[in-house]
Amino acid sequence: MRVHLCVVGRLRSGPEAEMLRDYLTRFDRTGRALGLGPASVHEVEDKRGGGMAAEADLLDRVVPSGAVLVCMDERGAVMSSPSFAHKLADWRDGGRQDIAFVIGGADGIDPGLRARADLLISFGPMVWPHMLVRVMLAEQLYRAATILAGGPYHRA
């Protein structure tokens, strides 16, 4: 199952970009034998200042047709890492080819796009910088792959 991070904004070089690359590389390496991956990042920018609606239109263009749509949203479900791993496995085992994780811009995700999501996930009630959420999600994808592989990375 291919994994797509569909995100608003461009991640410039720096520690976040390095961490994102590292966790996605780890995920690809661990997930390959499990039928998870590869992971790719699709960045969009609303250069005209159209707000959330314009961002949603741009995000719609990069979300693969038929993909499981997961929006990262502060109003979403808070999941444990094992629950997240098993949710990914359920979609994979159900024959889903693609999963798209959407991370909005500074104002969040357009309500129309959010309403179409198969799942809303939150990293807790705090609001996180959208650039940092990429890294946190990539780490959770890697953690999920190690959980499903029975590896020692996740200690619970």
Per-residue pLDDT in tens (0 to 9) along the chain, 156 residues:
999 999 999 988 899 999 999 999 999 999 999 999 999 999 999 888 888 999 999 999 999 999 999 999 999 999 999 999 999 999 999 999 999 999 998 888 999 999 999 999 999 988 888 889 999 999 999 999 999 999 888 776
Q: How far apart are CA 9 and CA 93, in angstroms?
A: 32
CATH topology of domain 2-149: Alpha/beta knot (3.40.1280)
Q: How far apart are CA 36 and CA 60, in angstroms?
A: 22
Question: Which pair of tokens denotes residue 18?
Answer: 């390095």
Beta-carbon-side half-sphere exposure of residue 54 (alpha carbons within 13 Å): 9
Instruction: Please state the domain extents for the chain.
Output: 2-149
CA distances from 97 to 12, 28, 92, 94, 100 (A): 29, 15, 7, 9, 10
CA distances from 110 to 50, 56, 57, 65, 136 (A): 11, 6, 9, 19, 21
